[in-house]
Every structure is written in structure tokens, then in C-alpha cells.
């Protein structure tokens, strides 16, 4: 009997290998993972397609998070799911479901992935969620602030952009969210990116959102990389230049603690360089920064070093004139600033032509007039010193503006009137005031008269000895204005120097101890006479007996003026029973006639 063939135990793998001439192949279970991932991907695609028209529900989210957390699901499938969630998170309802149904914890888990696609997609969804202010409470309590801040420094540019976008949304969301990312180190992140040359506008958006939070502004001001921001400002071809300007301006508009941070010597050196820029927006920005800093009295002294470049800008029609006119009045808030500004103004006005003075400096003048700082004594003084300086131009247009400016300032109660009176007196008392153009001199005289007429207490500011020569000015308009000025000054309470000087000059001339210009003599007599008509005190102050020899002066106009004076005095004397009686005058006239010839009779005087 033949032997039966012996059966051996073969594995499927050995059987398959033995049965194929090509030799052994890959085991079947090797196909399991790729096949499973493919099947899961197809299943997820079908699922997302099916539920795309429907709002995101807790059940759907739960199913999707299972896929996202599974290690058996491919990164492509997870990216597909995250893309769908990103689309749904753009709606508040979808973002709410993700936050309230534990979807955020899954997203946080995915942030630890080494796969760039998953990181990009997960950070994108987180940015969408941070947009909604109505979800602020949940976001503040659940959001992975520290992880997002660290991802903003990721080597993957898309991940960085998505993270920065999320941080920008958080900074605009609420002060709680802003504080959270500050505590998470966002300022160190921003410094790192800016110093590395990153120029994405999103990082500026983050800083802009933070600096707009009043409660955080000081922290931001102390931590912001100023050297990077000022450098960005000067790169005008880059859109981020405006973003950098905005951040720095907001800091400069803060309270003292935040402004102190920007008012550092290193930043002043940068600002000084910027003022030399040929770009008007950049120059205007620097002027605005300086003006904002100068609003704090304790910091004005640190910025007065910029008085010269700012005043120079006033003379440049193509740069930041308006912003310079904003900054300079702020300097004048305190005495040290005022002196610096006006010392510079004096130097430059002597170099500039009238067109420059009229078009550029007038802007500064208008700004001073309209600015609220005119309510302070120092600002009024500053304004008037400026008026004193610019009054030496001969432009008729500018003189009209000057007169208007003086009037506007003098309309400020008390402080404004006194400041203008002081300024006008300073002009009229200067050694070279007689060389002023009559179109300047006459309005100033009328202005001083007007102010003292409205505010008699200011009459004590007038320096009569300096003003008297105006009565003899060769310009008839100035003479008339000076006469009006003295009419307003004389007899006012406090104007003792004026009340004393005019009668004294007449008395000294009558006794021949002083020779007075006939024109001045004539004008003084006319002024005293006119004032005596309305003032008993003035009439009583005129000693006719002592002044009668003035009638002997060989000048017809002087004689007529003296007669006018006596006529006015005696009319008042008769009304008030003044001791200078007609008998006294007749006795004086007879005495003088015996040695000097006839003088006008009492009847001639009193006609």
C-alpha cells in the first residue's frame, strides 16, 4: 500500500508566497491603517457634506471631536474637519457651541501637534472664536492665552499670522482679554517679532488694541520697543508706518505715567531726527507727539529743546505747520517754555521776510488766541510777548490781523486785558518803538486806550514818560490815536503817573525849567482840556495861575491850545466853585501884562 502524502501546517502568508512565482509579498495587515484612514476620510467627507446646511449642534461637534482626538485619523481628515469648524465659527452661534460644548479643549489639544497643517487650521479656528464680544466671559475663562502667544513666534508663517490675528481679536475683545494676553507675555512676543524685522500689520494691530485700553496703557508704554516703532514710522513706503504712528500717538495722549515712558532721551533723539524728514506726515506726527508731551507741565522743560526746529517748521509751507502751531502753544504753558519759544521766535522773525511772518507765524498766533490755555496767566503773557515781536512787520494785512488778535485776547476777562495792556506798553516803551510803522503804532495806541477805558484798573500799566512823545509823532493818525489814548488814561483810578506827568510837563515849561516840543505842549493842553470837561478831579488838578505864562509862548497853535485848556477848566470851575476864580485869573493877567504885554482877557478865555 502506497504511503499517504503527509499534510503540513502552512500559514496563509506561506501558502500565498508558495503559490506565487513572484515570491513573498507584504502582509495583509499592512494595508489596514491606510485603508482605515481612507475609509474614515470618506466617511468624514460624507458627514460634513450631509450636515453642511445645518447649524452646528452639540451632537455633531461631539462626533467631530472624536475624529479630531483620534490617533487613527489622518492629518488631512483633521484639517478637513477644522476647516468646517472654522467656517462655522465665523457665526456667533457656531462659536458659542464650540465654547460651551467642550470643543475648545479639543482645539487646545491640537495646538500641541507637530503637523503644520493642523496647527494652521486650529489656530485659525481660535482666531474666529475670539471675535465675538458676547462670548467674552467664556473666552476669558477658557482661552489658551499662553499657548496662542507662544504660537505667534512659531517658525511657520501661517501659524504666526493666525495666532497674531487671534491676539488682535483678543486685544479688541475686552480689557479682561487684553490683560490676559499681557500677563501671558504678549509684549515680549511683540518685541521679538519687531526686532526680527517682522513687518506684518497684525502685530501692530495687537499693540494698537492693547494701547487703547486705558487701564493697560502705562504697562504697554513701559514695555513697547520704541526703537522699532520709531524706525517703522520713517519707513513711509510701508503701510505699517501709519500703524506705528498711531500706537505712539496714543501713548503720548495718555496720563503722565504713560507719557513719561515715551518722554525718554533716546526717544527725543529719534524725534529730533524725524523732524528733519522730508515727509510732511512724518514731521506732523513728530510735532503732535511733542505737543502731547508738553501738555504735562512737569515734562515741558524736557521738550523745549525742540523750540527752534518747531519754529523753523512754521516757516516751511510744505511740512507740518499746523501741527507745529499745536505744539508751540503747549510749550508756553510754563515760563521756561515761553521764554524758549519766544527767544527762538525773535531770532527767526528777524531773518524771515514779511511773507513768511504773515503766512506762517499767523497760524501760531491764531492758535494761541483760540486755545484754552489763554485762561492762564503765563499763556496770556506768552501770547503778548509774541505780539510784541511780530508787531515790527510793516505788512498791512498782518497789521489788521495783529489788531484783531490783540482785541480777541483783551476780551478775555481780567487776565487777557492785563496781558495785552502789558504787551502794548512793552512795545510802546521800547527804545525803537518810534520807528514802528504808523499802521502799527496807531492801532496799538488805540488798543491801549480802549483797554484802559473798559478796565480802568489797568491804567496803572501805562508808562506816561514813554508815551508822551507819541503826541508829537509826525503822522497825524498816530497823533490822533495818542490823544485818544491819553484821554482814556487820564483821570482813571491808579493812573497816577499819567495824572502827574502831564501837568508837571506844563508847569516846567511855564517856569522855563524845561523846553517842551510845541507839538507835545499843544497836545497836552488839548488832552487836559478835554478831560477837564468831564472830570472835576482833573479840573481841580490844573493850577491855572502857574500855567498862565504858557499864553506868552510865541506859537499860535500853543496859545489856542492853552486857551482851550483854560476855557475848559474855568467852565468846570464855575460849575463846582473851583478856587481858581476869575479874580485870580484877572490878577494874574494884569501882572503878566505889565512885564510881558497883553495876554487874552478872561472874557476871551471864557467865551
**The pLDDT value given to residue 332:** 74
Is the pLDDT confidence value at 420 over 80? Answer: no
The mean-pLDDT minimum among 285-294, 344-353, 539-548 falls in: 344-353
**The pLDDT value given to residue 291:** 92
Confidence band for 47, pLDDT divided at 50, 70 and 90: confident
Is the pLDDT confidence value at 119 over 60? Answer: yes
Is the pLDDT confidence value at 354 over 70? Answer: no
Average pLDDT over residues 63-82: 88
| Boundary-marking domain end, from 136, 152, 184 | 184
* Residue 93 belongs to domain spanning: 54-184
In a domain, 316, yes or no: no
Q: What H or E segment, with its residue span, contains residue 489?
A: helix 476-489
In a domain, 445, yes or no: no
Average pLDDT over residues 421-443: 71
Is the pLDDT confidence value at 102 over 60? Answer: yes
Copy the grid coordinates of residue 590: 494884569
In a domain, 387, yes or no: no
In a domain, 328, yes or no: no
In a domain, 534, yes or no: yes
Confidence band for 373, pLDDT divided at 50, 70 and 90: very low
**The pLDDT value given to residue 607:** 44
List alpha helices for 455-510, DSSP H: 464-467, 476-489, 496-510
First-to-last alpha carbon distance for the chain, in angstroms, is 185
Confidence band for 480, pLDDT divided at 50, 70 and 90: confident
405/137: higher pLDDT: 137
**The pLDDT value given to residue 362:** 56
Confidence band for 22, pLDDT divided at 50, 70 and 90: very low
List alpha helices for 20-57, DSSP H: 32-51
Is the pLDDT confidence value at 12 over 50? Answer: no
> Mean pLDDT: which of 398-412, 418-432, 584-598 is highest?
418-432
Q: CA–CA separation, 429 vs 67, rounded Å? A: 92
Is the pLDDT confidence value at 3 over 60? Answer: no
Confidence band for 520, pLDDT divided at 50, 70 and 90: confident
Do 358 and 314 meet the contact criterion of CB atoms below 8 Å apart?
Answer: no
Confidence band for 367, pLDDT divided at 50, 70 and 90: low
Is the pLDDT confidence value at 584 over 70? Answer: no
| Boundary-marking domain end, from 119, 152, 184 | 184
State pLDDT tens for residues 191-229.
Answer: 999 998 877 788 999 999 999 999 999 999 999 999 999
**The pLDDT value given to residue 594:** 47
**The pLDDT value given to residue 600:** 52
The mean-pLDDT minimum among 360-364, 451-455, 588-592 falls in: 588-592
Find all residues with CB under 8 Å of 193, minimum gap 6, and list them.
152, 153, 160, 200, 203
Angle formed at CA 137 by CA 136 and CA 140, multiple of 5 degrees: 80
The DSSP code for 435 is G
Average predicted confidence (pLDDT) for the chain: 77
Do 200 and 161 meet the contact criterion of CB atoms below 8 Å apart?
Answer: yes
Counted residue by residue, the chain has a size of 607
Question: Above pLDDT 70, what percent of the chain?
Answer: 69
Confidence band for 16, pLDDT divided at 50, 70 and 90: very low
**The pLDDT value given to residue 166:** 93
381/458: higher pLDDT: 458
State pLDDT tens for residues 395-411.
Answer: 555 556 556 666 666 66
CATH of the domain at 153: 1.25.10.10
Positive or negative torsion for Cα 243, 249, 254, 259: positive
| Boundary-marking domain end, from 127, 157, 184 | 184
Average pLDDT over residues 555-570: 80
Q: Domains in the chain: how many in total?
A: 2
Q: CA–CA separation, 180 vs 168, rounded Å? A: 13
Is the pLDDT confidence value at 150 over 80? Answer: yes
In a domain, 451, yes or no: no
The number of beta carbons lying within 10 Å of the beta carbon of residue 142 is 15
**The pLDDT value given to residue 372:** 44
Angle formed at CA 94 by CA 93 and CA 95, multiple of 5 degrees: 95
State pLDDT tens for residues 481-516.
Answer: 888 888 777 756 545 556 667 777 887 787 775 677
Average pLDDT over residues 63-86: 88
Copy the grid coordinates of residue 314: 512754521
Question: Above pLDDT 90, what percent of the chain?
Answer: 31
Average pLDDT over residues 543-563: 78
Is the pLDDT confidence value at 188 over 80? Answer: yes
Find all residues with CB under 8 Å of 470, minimum gap 6, and list them.
428, 441, 445, 478, 479, 481, 482, 485
In a domain, 127, yes or no: yes
In a domain, 69, yes or no: yes
68 CB-contact burial (10 Å; exposed 0-12 / middle 13-18 / buried 19+):
buried
- What SS3 state is found at 27? coil
97/20: higher pLDDT: 97
The number of beta carbons lying within 10 Å of the beta carbon of residue 207 is 27
- What SS3 state is found at 152? coil
- Whether the pTM exceeds 0.75: the reply is no
Average pLDDT over residues 43-61: 86
Is the pLDDT confidence value at 277 over 70? Answer: yes
Positive or negative torsion for Cα 257, 262, 266, 271: negative
Q: What is the largest CA-CA distance in the chain?
A: 198
Is the pLDDT confidence value at 393 over 60? Answer: no
The mean-pLDDT minimum among 251-265, 359-373, 527-541 falls in: 359-373
585/262: higher pLDDT: 262
Amino acid at each position: 500500500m502506497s504511503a499517504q502524502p503527509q499534510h503540513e501546517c502552512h500559514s496563509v502568508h506561506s501558502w500565498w508566497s508558495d503559490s506565487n512565482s513572484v515570491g513573498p509579498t507584504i502582509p495583509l495587515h499592512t494595508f489596514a491603517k491606510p485603508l482605515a484612514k481612507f475609509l474614515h476620510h470618506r466617511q468624514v467627507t460624507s458627514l460634513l457634506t450631509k450636515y453642511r446646511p445645518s447649524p452646528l449642534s452639540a451632537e455633531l461637534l461631539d462626533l467631530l471631536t472624536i475624529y479630531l482626538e483620534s490617533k487613527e485619523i489622518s492629518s488631512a481628515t483633521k484639517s478637513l474637519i477644522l476647516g468646517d469648524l472654522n467656517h462655522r465659527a465665523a457665526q456667533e452661534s457656531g462659536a458659542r457651541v464650540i465654547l460651551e460644548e467642550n470643543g475648545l479643549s479639543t482645539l487646545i489639544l491640537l495646538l500641541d501637534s507637530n503637523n503644520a497643517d493642523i496647527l494652521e487650521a486650529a489656530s485659525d479656528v481660535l482666531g474666529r472664536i475670539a471675535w465675538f464680544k458676547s462670548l467674552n466671559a467664556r473666552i476669558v475663562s477658557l482661552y489658551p492665552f499662553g499657548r496662542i502667544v507662544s504660537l505667534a513666534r512659531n517658525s511657520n508663517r501661517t501659524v504666526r499670522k493666525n495666532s497674531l490675528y487671534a491676539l488682535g481679536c483678543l486685544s479688541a475683545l475686552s480689557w479682561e482679554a487684553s490683560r490676559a494676553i499681557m500677563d501671558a507675555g504678549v509684549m515680549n512676543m511683540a518685541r521679538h517679532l519687531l526686532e526680527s524685522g517682522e513687518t506684518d500689520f497684525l502685530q501692530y494691530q495687537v499693540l494698537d488694541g492693547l494701547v487703547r485700553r486705558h487701564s493697560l496703557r502705562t504697562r504697554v508704554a513701559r514695555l513697547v520697543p520704541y526703537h522699532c516703532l520709531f524706525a517703522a514710522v520713517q519707513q513711509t513706503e510701508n503701510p505699517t508706518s501709519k500703524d506705528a504712528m498711531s500706537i505712539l500717538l496714543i501713548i503720548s495722549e495718555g496720563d503722565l505715567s504713560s507719557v513719561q515712558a515715551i518722554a525718554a532721551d533716546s526717544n527725543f533723539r529719534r524725534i529730533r531726527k524725524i523732524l528733519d524728514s522730508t515727509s510732511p506726515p512724518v514731521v506732523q506726527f513728530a510735532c503732535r507727539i511733542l505737543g502731547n508731551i508738553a501738555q504735562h507741565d512737569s515734562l515741558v522743560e524736557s521738550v523745549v529743546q525742540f523750540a527752534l526746529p518747531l519754529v523753523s517748521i512754521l516757516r516751511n509751507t510744505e511740512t507740518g505747520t499746523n501741527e507745529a502751531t499745536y505744539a508751540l502753544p503747549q510749550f508756553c504753558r510754563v515760563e521756561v517754555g515761553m521764554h524758549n519759544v519766544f527767544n527762538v521766535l525773535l531770532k527767526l522773525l528777524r531773518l524771515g521776510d514779511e511773507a513768511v511772518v504773515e503766512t506762517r507765524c499767523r497760524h501760531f498766533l491764531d492758535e494761541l488766541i483760540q486755545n484754552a490755555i489763554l485762561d492762564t496767566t503765563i499763556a496770556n503773557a506768552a501770547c503778548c510777548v509774541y505780539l510784541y515781536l511780530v508787531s515790527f512787520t510793516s505788512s498791512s494785512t498782518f497789521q489788521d490781523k495783529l489788531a484783531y488778535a490783540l482785541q480777541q485776547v483783551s476780551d478775555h476777562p481780567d487776565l487777557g486785558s492785563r496781558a495785552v495792556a502789558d504787551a502794548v506798553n512793552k512795545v510802546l516803551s521800547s527804545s525803537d518803538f518810534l520807528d514802528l510803522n504808523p499802521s502799527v503804532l496807531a492801532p496799538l495806541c488805540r488798543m491801549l486806550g480802549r483797554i484802559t477805558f473798559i478796565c480802568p484798573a489797568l491804567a496803572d500799566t501805562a508808562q506816561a514818560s514813554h508815551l508822551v512823545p507819541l503826541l508829537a509823532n509826525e503822522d497825524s493818525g498816530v497823533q490822533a490815536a495818542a490823544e485818544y489814548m491819553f484821554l482814556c488814561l487820564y483821570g482813571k483810578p491808579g493812573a497816577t503817573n499819567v495824572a502827574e506827568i502831564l501837568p508837571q510837563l506844563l508847569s516846567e515849561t511855564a517856569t522855563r525849567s524845561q523846553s517842551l516840543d510845541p507839538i507835545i505842549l499843544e497836545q497836552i493842553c488839548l488832552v487836559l482840556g478835554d478831560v477837564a470837561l468831564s472830570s472835576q478831579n482833573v479840573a481841580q488838578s490844573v493850577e491855572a495861575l502857574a500855567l498862565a505864562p504858557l499864553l506868552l509862548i510865541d506859537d499860535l497853535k500853543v496859545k489856542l491850545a492853552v486857551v482851550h485848556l483854560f476855557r475848559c477848566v474855568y467852565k468846570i470851575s464855575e460849575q463846582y466853585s473851583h478856587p481858581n476864580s476869575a479874580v485870580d485869573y484877572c490878577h494874574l493877567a494884569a501882572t503878566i501884562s505889565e512885564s510881558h504885554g497883553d495876554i487874552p482877557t478872561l472874557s476871551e478865555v471864557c467865551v
